[in-house]
């Protein structure tokens, strides 16, 4: 059992580090969402500050076949803005509005990547589809309060992962395939601390690990070289007992 205990400690620690690395794409999603929101606010400011002529006056004008400008606004027959295209400090965004003036979609490009954010009838973000400058795709889901609750993405090495967050923004669960082709499921407590992991190694060997409130390994159950066993650790992470 000593071999299983030492191997479990080394394997689970490596798995934790990979989970942390996989969850870093949340940073890119947050940055991209923030910049898209800025692009939407910028375009919304253009709409609010512009004095629109009547629809009949617009229809009577002669329009050029090519327009070069920093912003472009589309309105309906009553002059209500329905879409805005604008640029600001290297960012560009296309914003779509409902007839009540609330933002419903933002398509934007900025220094960290490009993406599309969709909003509900209350103007809260509900879905973001983004691609970072490194080519990593991200799908983020938001609840009715506009809080990020889940992400599906590929990391920089092409490993897929599903990350779930609670209302406080803490990571509570990660399920994915690591860069070394191990299948893993990690569960976190309300403080965002990893407390339990289930891992299937590339060779098919399973390992179930439990951690204390400070992240110390306390219990490992697994199979190695066709042997099954259980390893118990104290609060300092030292192996104290094992079966068989």
Q: How distant, in Å, are the alpha carbons of 5, 8, 179 from that of 210?
A: 13, 11, 22
CB burial string 74-85: b at 16+ within 10 A, e below: ebeeeeebbbbb
Which of 29, 38, 35 is closest to 147 using CA atoms?
Answer: 29
pLDDT digits (tens, 9 = 90+) for 135-172: 889 999 999 999 999 999 888 788 899 999 999 999 99
pLDDT digits (tens, 9 = 90+) for 57-113: 556 666 677 777 788 888 888 888 899 888 877 788 899 999 888 889 999 888 888
Overall residue count recorded for the chain in this entry: 244
Dist. CA 133–CA 1, nearest whole Å: 47
Give the predicted TM-score (pTM) of the model.
0.71
Question: Could you identify the residue written with the tokens 């099954």?
Answer: 228
CATH 3.90.930.1 residue ranges of the chain are: 1-24+155-244
CATH class given for the domain over 1-24+155-244? alpha beta
Element (H, E) at 96: strand 91-97
* DSSP-derived 3-state class of residue 170: coil
């Amino acid at each position: 059992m000593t071999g299983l205990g030492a191997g479990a400690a080394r394997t689970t620690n490596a798995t934790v580090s990979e989970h942390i690395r996989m969850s870093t794409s949340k940073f890119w999603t947050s940055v991209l969402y923030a910049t898209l929101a800025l692009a939407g606010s910028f375009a919304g400011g253009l709409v609010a500050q512009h004095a629109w002529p009547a629809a009949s006056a617009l229809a009577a004008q002669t329009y050029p076949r090519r327009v070069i400008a920093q912003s472009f606004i589309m309105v309906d027959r009553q002059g209500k803005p329905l879409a805005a295209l604008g640029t600001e400090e290297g960012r560009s965004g296309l914003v779509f509005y409902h007839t009540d003036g609330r933002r419903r979609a933002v398509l934007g490009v900025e220094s960290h990547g490009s993406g599309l954010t969709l909003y509900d009838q209350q103007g809260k973000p509900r879905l973001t589809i983004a691609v970072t400058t490194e080519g990593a795709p991200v799908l983020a889901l938001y609840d009715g309060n506009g809080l990020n609750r889940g992400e599906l993405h590929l990391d920089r090495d092409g490993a897929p992962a599903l990350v779930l967050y609670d209302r406080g923004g803490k990571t509570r669960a990660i399920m994915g395939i690591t860069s070394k082709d191990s299948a893993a499921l990690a569960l976190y407590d309300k403080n965002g601390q990893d407390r339990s992991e289930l891992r299937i190694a590339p060779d098919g060997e399973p390992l179930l690990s439990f951690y204390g409130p400070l992240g110390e390994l306390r219990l490992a159950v697994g199979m190695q070289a066709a042997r099954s066993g259980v390893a118990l650790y104290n609060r300092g992470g030292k192996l104290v007992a094992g079966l068989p």
